[in-house]
Structure 1
Amino acid sequence: MREQLNILFSAIQFLTRLPVGRWITYDPGHLTKSVAYFPVVGALVGVLGAAVIAVMSLLVPPVLAVLFSMIATVVATGAIHEDGLADTIDGLGGGHTRERMMEIMKDSRVGSYGVIALWFSLTLKFVLLNELLTRDLWLAAGGLMLAHMLGRSSTVVLIYRYPYVRTEPGKAPFIVDSMTTPRLFLSLSFTFLFSVLLFGWKAFFVLAVASIATWLTGRHVNRRIGGITGDTLGAANQIVELSVYLALLMQANYLTLVALIWKYFSPVILKWI
């Protein structure tokens, strides 16, 4: 049990800026096994965002509650996924060869493509969360937990499915090389159970949308550079997170439409029956 806690805290230490205690030290052995806990870390970040949006919605207007929630999750993760999105779009948008794309992604400077991608991503996230919050607090709070968890789950799937194409030393190769089928199964089992716990049968549509977003992102990146990098995993995380918010909003609008149709046409339908 203590070893598993060490592995979990290694995942938290790797993916976030959250304090994990001085008794946790960097251990490549624990880090290589931590990939299975990525969705758990995502759920924890989502819980933080949900707590902030729930508390702040009692004190300030919805738009500010959403803004504070976004700030909290960005601070908690150190914006590593947003950085990955910016670098990925810079590389894919500005490079015409695989080598040039990889070179641009490695550059610490953010280009125009990356800035535009970040602006659209953060704006869309803000708008979608605000729409969810105005409909129901649980849609926004539960959506934050679900989206952050599924975002990290997508990275697990992509790590399992595609080769890591960078050759430079670092922590990422340790994690990618350690991915096994049992760890994938453990990770996705937690993802599925937690999703159903949060939203019941409604989670199935969201899971389908997130799966499609993961598949499309992985397929496109693999076609362009022949595999994945840490930056492309961050980009996938952000894309899947946005797809979850969008799926929840689409589902809410659909159910509202069905309820309205039933309200006004049920007397006629029941009469015919």
Structure 2
Amino acid sequence: MPAESRFVAGVRLAVTTFSTLPVRAGRIDRPVAGTAMALAPAVGALLGVLLGGVLLLTGTLAPPLVAAGVTVGAAALLTRGLHLDGLADTVDALGSYRRGAAALEIMKKPDVGPFGVVALFVVLLVQAAALAELAGRSWPAALAAVVAATAAGRLGVTVACRRGVPAARPDGLGAMVAGTVGPVAVTVGAVAVALLAVPAVPGRPWQGPLAVVAALAVAVPLLTHVVRRLGGITGDVLGATVELVTTLVYLGVVLSA
């Protein structure tokens, strides 16, 4: 298949994987999956534009905290809540102190344990609080912050799918995407997201990019720990990475010196 067709298939797979936007998936195989995971930050930026618009529009009609809550809800709706589900399942597995197949079995259960509930509560609370603060900023800064945080969350997936990282199971999303992204795509994605974050903090053009770098610096060793515990990555791990990195970037852009 020509490179352009692989790219188009990758775009379709990235959009269908990371959003509920009405796009049909095309060819699906590991080369296409690699393209999709490399393009994940771009899909995140698109979602960020939509969520930033929700925050700003709702903020003109309701108090900042209400606008923030609506935006968090919209984010869950636009992603089918899959990343939040992945966060809860991953934290439950890690909290069990089990390894390998035993931990993976916990992740497959439909219920959510206490560790997962607490993780969801903390992440959603921090995101809502950060968005409420962003709603009080100028619209260019608020939009840039939301776009950068949402793109950075998907950049976390690009990093998690880099070469050398195995899949925990022989099937599923993790098996399809693990180890499919090369170093060039990771580097380009990181630079692009860092540039998106420059306008996020008025008067401090360094703080947004620093928040992105710091979030990834936290996510990478955590991913290493998860791979050691589970034997590799899964779709749930990717979802957890999205929520973790997104939340850390939100936190980073609202912190004041």
Relative distance call for 1:17 and 1:26 in structure 2 (3 A) is farther
1:62 alignment counterpart = 64
Q: Percent same amino acid among aligned pairs?
A: 30
Equivalent of residue 248 in structure 2, options 227, 243, 257: 243
**Greater per-residue helix proportion:** 1
d(CA) in 1 for partners of 2:173 and 2:213?
A: 31
1:99-248 to structure 2, matched below 5 A, reads 99-160=101-162, 163-196=165-198, 200-248=205-253
In the alignment, structure 1 segments of 5+ residues that lack a partner are 255-273
Relative distance call for 1:197 and 1:8 in structure 2 (3 A) is farther
Instruction: Give the counterpart letter for 1:116 in structure 2.
Output: V
d(CA) in 2 for partners of 1:226 and 1:162?
A: 12
3-state SS of the aligned residue for 1:160? coil
1:83-102 to structure 2, matched below 5 A, reads 83-102=85-104
Query: Which segment drifts farther, 10-19 or 136-145?
Result: 136-145
Contact preservation (8 Å) 2:37, 2:158: yes
In the alignment, structure 2 segments of 5+ residues that lack a partner are none
Contact preservation (8 Å) 1:139, 1:248: no
d(CA) in 1 for partners of 2:250 and 2:178?
A: 28
Alpha-carbon shift at residue 220 of structure 1 (Å): 2.6
1:27 aligns with 2:28: yes
Alpha-carbon shift at residue 54 of structure 1 (Å): 0.9
Alpha-carbon shift at residue 161 of structure 1 (Å): 5.7
TM-score, with length taken from structure 1: 0.82
Relative distance call for 1:197 and 1:66 in structure 2 (3 A) is closer
The runs of at least 4 aligned residues of structure 1 exceeding 6 Å deviation read: none
What is the number of residues matched between the two proteins? 250
Structure index of larger Rg: 1
3-state SS of the aligned residue for 2:161? helix
d(CA) in 2 for partners of 1:70 and 1:190?
A: 24
TM-score, with length taken from structure 2: 0.86
d(CA) in 2 for partners of 1:213 and 1:170?
A: 26
Relative distance call for 1:194 and 1:135 in structure 2 (3 A) is closer
Deviations 1:54-100 (A, max 9, x none): 11111111111111111111111111111110000110112433332
Report the aligned-residue RMSD: 2.3
